[in-house]
Amino acid sequence: MASTERSGKGMPEKVVYSVSGMTCSACSGQVETVLRQLPGIDDAVVDALTNRALVTFYPALITEETIRETIEDVGYQATLIQHHQTNAKSSQMCRIRINGICTSCSSAVESALQALRGVLMAQVASADEEAQVHYDPQMVSYKELLEAIEDTGSVAMLITTGYMSQFQLKVDGVSTDHSMRLIENSLRSLPGVQDIDIDPKLNKFSVSYKPDVTGPRNFIQVIESTGSGRYKAMIFPETGREVHEKETKRYYRSFLLSLVFTIPVFLTSMVFMYVPGIKSGLDRKVLNMLSVGEILRWALSTPVQFVIGRRFYSGSYRALRHGSANMDVLIALGTNAAYFYSVYSVLRAAASKDFMSTDFFETSSMLISIILLGKYLEISAKGKTSTAIAKLMDLAPETAILLTLDSEGNVTRDEEIDSRLIQKNDVVKVLPGAKVASDGFVIWGQSHVNESMITGEARPVAKRKGDTVIGGTVNEDGVLHVEATQVGSESALSQIIQLVESAQMAKAPVQKFADRISKYFVPLVITLSFSAWLVWFLAGKFHRYPKSWIPSSMDSFELALQFGISVMVIACPCALGLATPTAVMVGTGVGASQGVLIKGGQALESAHKVNCIVFDKTGTLTIGKPVVVNTRLLKNMVLQEFYELVAATEVNSEHPLAKAIVESAKKFRDDEENPTWPEAKNFVSITGHGVKAIVRDKEIIVGNKSLMLDQNITIPSEAEDMLAETESMAQTGILISIDGELAGVVAISDPLKPGASEVISILKSMKVKSIIVTGDNWGTANSIAKMVGIENVIAEAKPEQKAEKVKDLQASGNIVAMVGDGINDSPALVAADVGMAIGAGTDIAIEAADIVLMRSNLEDVITAIDLSRKTFSRIRLNYIWALAYNLLGIPIAAGALFPSTGLRLPPWIAGAAMAASSVSVVCCSLLLKNYRRPKELDGLDMQGVEVVK
């Protein structure tokens, strides 16, 4: 009956809607409830954080439009953004550099991108001026993404697009549009070239291509062979670091230029008025009451206000055009108030014979100069937060030796090329002491390679023909010929860099606090500024304070104006906005240098709360390289034949224990490096228990005790005794059945990682409890737990049971971290609040984890938790400083202390304080670069152990 009903409905489909207007989980729960009540809805999951609704429905009973209208009837704006019948590869990711974006502008750019149909997710990090956008290329192109960003008033430049590589070339010798088209057509004719973008002003060609088909050397060759050799192609020189350096230099030059005008203004208004000879010259009247000094100050401050300070006008215009307000609005309002009041005062003096003018030209020019200095210091400091990525980039060699081989594999030619020009299947030569230029495998030579930058293995690893090598590692001795397999963005080093960059862009949930405040901050400050001016102006007009409070060079209106301007420019939303991202950026960078890859602010925030860690056993607490230490046969047969049958079955499994058995079986075939085993038919892997297959017409079952009992295989007392003996020694006993009869027991030992017990002890001192959850038997699990000092043990757990145990711990109020390395750990890694994958584990485990421990050292679990705690301590300190600064600074700028102490902040001092607040927050985050792991770890030796086979 159920199948008939299902066939009547048809196959379910999935759609994703962008739902705007949700603010909390209550909103998403409301939408979920309404959707699930609709006929034809199979399931609905709504996430308020990502503003997404994933709906599974039956098209025969309900349409996508009806679902959308239902969401909007609840009170939220809904847009269909993705249909899940499309190929998973249809979603792409691109990284875009946004020059000059400020903290408060990032949300406007994010909103503009999210509004585009086909954009699945957009993240903008103002700290490193970069956006990461996930989108459906069938619905929106990356060009439209760039246009959307530039419509907000920012300058956007594509860095990379996902699933395709992009390479930027500068071509000299191009002088006409015809030349441009000629080169473009030549490049488009190459197989694998997907798209070409041209910047005629810079003679820059951005080529998007499939790296499996073509590569950058082909592009250069085609360009230089076009037009009879008139064109010269090279790698476009601009990089992210160079862009940052240009931005820093631009602010520095603007600051120096502003000083040329501001210093004379300051001298004429603040210093020369006390020098008798100069004062009389400046006070000389030119027209009525208009003096020489006022004309000089007006002339000198005007270029500062409108030429050097034009960036604040353009920034204000862009923000206001999109219905938001940022720091540029406050600066523009504050400096304009001072400048235009001064202009009014000067013009009135020129038209009057008795009006004594007071100008504030020095206020506007000094404000702009000091803010430019603050921006220069802030950008310089922000640049230092990303030094971890710069150091990772420096691991890649600048050049490589490319080899040309003949059909027989002999070297016919070698040439030195830029390492960025290496293509797939190229053969490169690696000399002793040189860095490996790309990921690949050795086709000739023998050597030792230092891979500590990836694996943390201190001892050089022996390499010979067939072994894989990693780009950026160092060849110690011997010459190697390496065939490139992963180049460009696909290399291990590039993926680590991309992971760190993505982590530094991802917002921590605590960032939402600053986002909420910044939305209302600028309008509130403008209101407070106007209120301060109005209160002081009315108090002066109605003589509510003594005239002695008014400085001799001002009247009550001008005093009130100074208070209003000071409030306007002292308030700083940037400090709040920088509090979290700068700390996360430095923290994730420090983590990468310590061998801990933290995938963003969410992982950092969760890790610092962890009070319970669930450890897998094999490959986590143990070294993950099990070896067979004992074999006992229970039936009369030759040991070699026994291992032939077992190895033929286990060779199809990826489990570490299976590999140990296969390696042991190889000892019986000394003459073969890679022996061929008998064919295994009907192979079945029973996750968490073992495997079975038909080998040489015999049914072979290899697994644990529970598997044998499930298969109704009798376990004799002799086998029970051996299992008990192996488990008491923290070894794993594997049972082997042949044709329904137990044939033997294999004891496998997987030694503990060095320092495992010390790590558990340190975790206890950090008030973090430890639990073992393993698929191994109870005896072995309890023995391991006793050796390391763990009291709570869950054994013989299937992968789904590991995840259930994690959920049970969470339900008890624990913040749970799961540490594992295998495919079986993936469900638990995903279920945990923080999934930590040992770096030597499988790709699936690492993909499922929030934190990757690159060096496979247990001590890095402590480093990850300690670093996250230190980082969030820094974030709290940043917030305390940013909030305290504004809560104290605004009242002081408004004159709260003036009646009792006479303390008054001139606008230029208030501006200096504002600039200093942002710089201080960034510098506070930069102190994380001095992070040192807990001292208790210094005495531990965890580089690994050598297993003698």
Residues with catalytic roles: 616
Q: 3-class secondary structure for 361-424?
A: HHHHHHHHHHHHHHHHHHHHHHHHCCHHHHHHHHCCCCEEEEEEECCCCCEEEEEEEEHHHCCC
What's the half-sphere exposure (Cβ side, CA atoms, 13 Å) at 66? 15
Q: Specify the residue for token string 């993926």.
A: 495
Nearest residue to 522 (alpha-carbon basis) of 559, 576, 558, 561: 576
Give 930's Cβ-side CA count (13 Å radius).
6
Under 8 Å between Cβ of 470 and 492: yes
Which two tokens mark 816? 């749970």
Q: What's the distance, CA 944 to chain centroid?
A: 29
- Structural contact between residues 734 and 745, judged by C-beta atoms closer than 8 angstroms: yes
- The whole-angstrom separation of Cα 823 and Cα 772 is 17
DSSP sequence for 900-923: HH-----HHHHHHHHHHHHHHHHH
What 3-state DSSP class applies to 152?
coil
Other beta carbons within 10 angstroms of residue 465's beta carbon come to 12
Element (H, E) at 703: strand 698-703
**DSSP helix/strand/coil, 165:** strand
Closest C-alpha to 333, from 315, 353, 346, 350:
315
Measured distance CA(410)–CA(750) in Å, rounded = 44
Cβ atoms within 10 A of the Cβ of 471, count?
A: 26
Rounded CA-CA distance 606/815 in Å is 8
CB 278 within 8 A of CB 272: yes
> Contact at 8 Å (CB) between 915 and 331?
no
Instruction: Give the 3-state secondary structure percentages of the chain, helix then strand then coil, rounded to 5.
Output: 50, 20, 30
Strand partners, 477: 448
Joined tokens for residue 564: 């209003």
Residues 16 and 689: their CA atoms lie apart, in Å, by 38
Looking only at the bridges linking them, the beta strands covering 816-820 and 834-838 are: parallel
CA distance 624 to 753: 9
**Distance, CA of 620 to CA of 479 (rounded, Å):** 35
Query: Are 149 and 135 contacting, i.e. CB atoms less than 8 angstroms apart?
Result: no
- In sequence order, what are the beta bridge partners of 415? 402
CA-CA distance, 47 to 29, in Å (whole number)?
Answer: 9
Q: What count of residues does the chain have?
A: 949
Provide the β-strand partners of residue 193: 209
- Closest Cα partner for 374 from 890, 906, 919, 908? 919
Q: Residue 899 to residues 317, 536, 544, 549, 892: CA-CA distances in angstroms?
A: 38, 11, 11, 8, 11
Side-chain half-sphere CA neighbours of 876 within 13 A: 8
**Cα–Cα dist 640/413, whole Å:** 49
Within 84-164, strands assigned E span 92-99, 119-125, 130-135, 155-161
Residues 9 and 380: their CA atoms lie apart, in Å, by: 61
Residue 685: how many CA atoms within 13 Å on its side-chain side? 11
| Alpha-carbon 626 to chain mean position | 35
